[in-house]
Amino acid sequence: MSRTINRRKFLKCAAAAVAAPIIVPASALGRDGAVAPSERITAAGIGIHGRGFHDLQWMIRNNDVQVLAICDIQKKQRLAVKDFVDKFYNNQDCAMYADMREFFEQRPDIDVVLIATGDRWHAQASIRAMRAGKDVYTEKPSTMTIAEGRTVVQTAATYGRVYQTGTQRLSEPNHVFCIEMARTGRLGKVDTAYAHIAPWDAAKMPRQWKEAQPEPPKEEVDWDAWLGPCPWRPYNESYVSGGWRGDYDFHTSCIGEWGAHTFAQAQMGIGMGETSPIKYDYVDNDSGDGMVCHFATGQKLIFSRGDKYWHGSCGELFEGERGWAAAADGYSQPDVSSPELLHEFKEVVGEYQARTGRSLDHMRNFLDCVKSRQEPVANPRVMHHSMCTVHAANICMWLGRDLTYDPKAECFVNDDEANRFLARAERSPWVL
């Protein structure tokens, strides 16, 4: 066949090529319900276990999210998450990492990370992620100390990152209604808010080691990385299967377990979302049930372990001059002192959405803010000040006496013994 082509034939072929339609998949253009690649949020999970799987499913079902990787120090968890993600997308693309330092180095293409490790890693992983240019959705309790919380706030501000902590009730209609009823004065002057603390474990946590067992291969469970910044102790399988709860080195006690949710809920309602109580009254029991915390305004936050103020879990109640309102998990509608208060439900929740522009879906609120660069409802400052309440209350219980706290200086007033608990030593190489 001749390798030459005359001018007329060439022009004919060229015209045909120009006229031929270029077929581009609708998904690449964002049609037919798909999201164009330029609008997609690339995501990865770190430490995705029980609650984390719930969060991952919540995140991945948003059409503008593409989950690309999982990082976990346990091989079986890496494999389980990869299997879930690959089946969801019908491919084999989910990458696996055992070390978050390696993950952050190698994946500049990831926009957001979902962090659902054990409590001891929440702040560390969040700070490392934000330093690597990632936006963060992290489970609660978000910090182990007041110093960690301060660093989270500073890191988010310095690196311009969007950060949301998993206090999802701040976005749920029943809780939003109660918070707004208190905040807007519909209940009259609100002097007292009640917050639920967990009905298991104690405020004073043990530090004993569990019985030593042979360590598994590092590929199966990286025990040193599991411990992270916490003090070293010998391996015991029960730690990695959830037995760390209730241990001083790994947990924030029964106060932090639910208080990480409910203190934020209560403080937002009384206008104290970005500060903390100044005085903590010690109660002589093992849980902190009944502790009264005083704000500089004279308002009070009272902890309750039982069902005196609600009939579900993670509840809050606001007590005002004109009545009270409460919500907790499992409520079809809030509890109120008078049925007439519920007539304003749609109006109150609607006004909140109009004022803030926020979704009543906590994960969606985070994702929207990733795109808009606005602050989500559970931003670093809201997280930090409610967790300062957790930590100060714990320290009050540990020392067995009343404490006075300065929310601006973020330390206890003239109390060296209490101030020793503001931070914890970090074990090398897990030092920030």
Q: Tell me how far apart the alpha carbons of residues 116 and 412 are, in angstroms, rounded to a whole number.
A: 31
- Distance between alpha carbon 348 and the CA centroid of its chain, in Å? 25
The amino acid present at 281, given as its one-letter code, is D
pLDDT for the residue 35: 79
Residue 10: what pLDDT?
Answer: 44
Check: CB of residue 79 under 8 Å from CB of residue 85.
no
The whole-number average pLDDT for the span 136-152 is 98
pLDDT tens, residue by residue, 76-127: 999 999 999 999 999 999 999 999 999 999 999 999 999 999 999 999 999 9
Instruction: Report the run of H or E that residue 152 belongs to, with start and end.
Output: helix 146-159
Distance CA 159, CA 420 (A): 29
The string of pLDDT tens digits covering residues 24-74 is 444 444 555 667 787 899 999 999 999 999 999 999 999 999 999 999 999
Q: How far apart, in Å, are the Cα atoms of 310 and each of 48, 195, 336, 429?
A: 31, 10, 11, 45
At residue 32, the pLDDT reads 56
The pTM of this model reads 0.92
Q: Which CATH number, 3.40.50.720, 3.40.140.10, 2.60.40.10, 3.90.650.10, labels domain 35-168?
A: 3.40.50.720
pLDDT of residue 37: 80
CA dihedral 363, 47, 254, 359 (to 10 degrees): 0
In the chain, residues under CATH classification 3.30.360.10 are 169-203+251-419
**Does the domain at residues 169-203+251-419 carry the CATH identifier 3.30.360.10?**
yes
pLDDT(18) > 80: no
User: Look-up: residue for tokens 């500073």?
Assistant: 154
Query: CA–CA separation, 400 vs 129, rounded Å?
Result: 37
CA–CA separation, 286 and 198 (whole Å): 12
Residue 1 has pLDDT above 50, yes or no: no
- According to the model, what pLDDT value does residue 118 have? 96
Tokens encoding 343? 């007539």
pLDDT tens, 161-210? 999 999 999 999 999 999 999 999 999 999 999 999 999 999 999 999 99
Task: For the chain, give every residue range classified as CATH 3.40.50.720.
Answer: 35-168
- Determine the average pLDDT of the residues in 16-22: 45
Give the number of residues written for the chain. Answer: 432
Q: What is the pLDDT of residue 150?
A: 98
Neighbour order of strands in the sheet with 316-320: 335-336, 323-327, 316-320, 190-196, 300-304, 292-294, 279-281, 403-406, 411-412
**Helix (H) / strand (E) containing 300:** strand 300-304
Q: Using CA atoms, how far apart are residues 379 and 218, in angstroms rounded to an integer?
A: 36
pLDDT of residue 38: 78
Nearest to 266 by CA among 341, 324, 198, 192: 192
> Residue 30: its pLDDT value, please?
52
Asked whether 307 and 416 are in contact (CB, 8 A), the reply is no
Residue 401 DSSP label: S
The residue assigned the tokens 């919380």 is 149
pLDDT of 13 above 80: no
Cα gap 151→196, rounded to integer Å: 27
- Among 407, 387, 422, 395, smallest CA distance to 139 is for 387
Least confidently predicted of 38-42, 127-131, 286-290: 38-42
Please indicate whether residue 224 or residue 34 has the higher confidence score (pLDDT): 224
